[in-house]
Chains A and B, each alone.
Chain A
C-alpha cells in the first residue's frame, strides 16, 4: 500500500513539474525537431533554382556544400546554370543562412551529424543519412521507374518535399504507392 502511494506521488510530482521541464522554448524546439527540414523559401531562389529542378529546401545540405555548389554553376551536374552576379550573391546568402548547419530541424540535424567534418557533399543523395534512409529502395522504383528517374526528384515520391516534409506518410511512389519500412 505504501508503495502504491509512493508511486502515485511520484507520478503527480512528475506531471506537476512538466511545465517547468518544458518551457515554451523547449516546446517550440520539440515541435521543430519532429519536423523534416525548414520549409523556408525565397522568390528569387525559387525562380533561379527551381526552373530546371525542384527548389531543394536549403536545410538539406550544410553551408559549405551550398557555397561550393554556387562556385561551380558553370558545370552544375553537367548543365550550365550560370546566374547574374547580384542574384548569385543573394542566393548564396540565403542558402548559407538557412543551411542545415544551424538548423534545429530533425532531418537537417541528422544530415549534418552523418557527415565527417571534412565532407562537403554536393549531392543531397550522397550524404550518409540520405543513403541510409533509402538503402532498401530497389532500382525498379527509382532509376528504372520512368516517373521518378532519379533520387534527385524528391517530390516524385515525397509529396510534400517542397514543404520540407519527408515522413513516410507522405510517400507515394509512382506505380507502386505507399512505402512502409
Chain B
C-alpha cells in the first residue's frame, strides 16, 4: 500500500512538472483568446514565420528567419549585430516561452521591425502555437 502511494505521488509530481512549461504558453494563449483570437494554428504560424516582408535598407527583405533562422532548435544570429540568439524551440531551450512578459515584449518589438506593423492577436496566437511545438 505504502509503495502504491509512493508511486502515485511520484507520477503526480512528474505530471505536474511536465505541465510546468506549457503553463506560460497556455496563459498567454488564453490572453489572446480573451482578446478575440481563436486558438493558435501552428500551420498558419509556420507560414507567417517563413514569409518575407519588405523593409528599409540594408535589410530590404525581412522575416522571422532573419535573426532566428529556419530551424528553431538551432541558435539564431542577430542580423545586424551578429550576436548569438538562443534557440526559440522549447525542446532545445528550456527557458524559451516561460515568461509571459517576455513573450509579449518580443512580439511587439520584433513584429514592428519584421512586418512593419504590430502583429494582431491572431498572428500572435498562431506564431506562439508554432514555436511552442518546436
Contacts and interface: CB of A to CB of B under 8 A. Distances in A.
Binding site of A, secondary structure by majority: helix, strand, loop or mixed?
Answer: loop
B94 interface: no
23 contacts: A51-B83, A52-B78, A52-B80, A52-B83, A53-B83, A74-B112, A77-B80, A78-B56, A79-B80, A79-B109, A79-B113, A80-B108, A80-B110, A80-B113, A81-B109, A82-B105, A82-B108, A82-B112, A84-B101, A84-B105, A149-B81, A152-B81, A153-B82
Question: How extensive is the interface on chain B, given as a class?
Answer: 10 to 19
Contact of A53 (B56, B78, B101, B105): B78
A84 B106 CA distance: 11
A54 interface: yes
A152 B82 CA distance: 11
Nearest to A54: B83
Contacts of B112: 74, 80, 82
B97 to A, nearest CB: 15
Contacts of B85: 51
Interface residues of A, number: 17
A75 to B, nearest CB: 10
Most buried by B among A51, A83, A84, A150: A51
Interface string A52-69: 111000000000000000
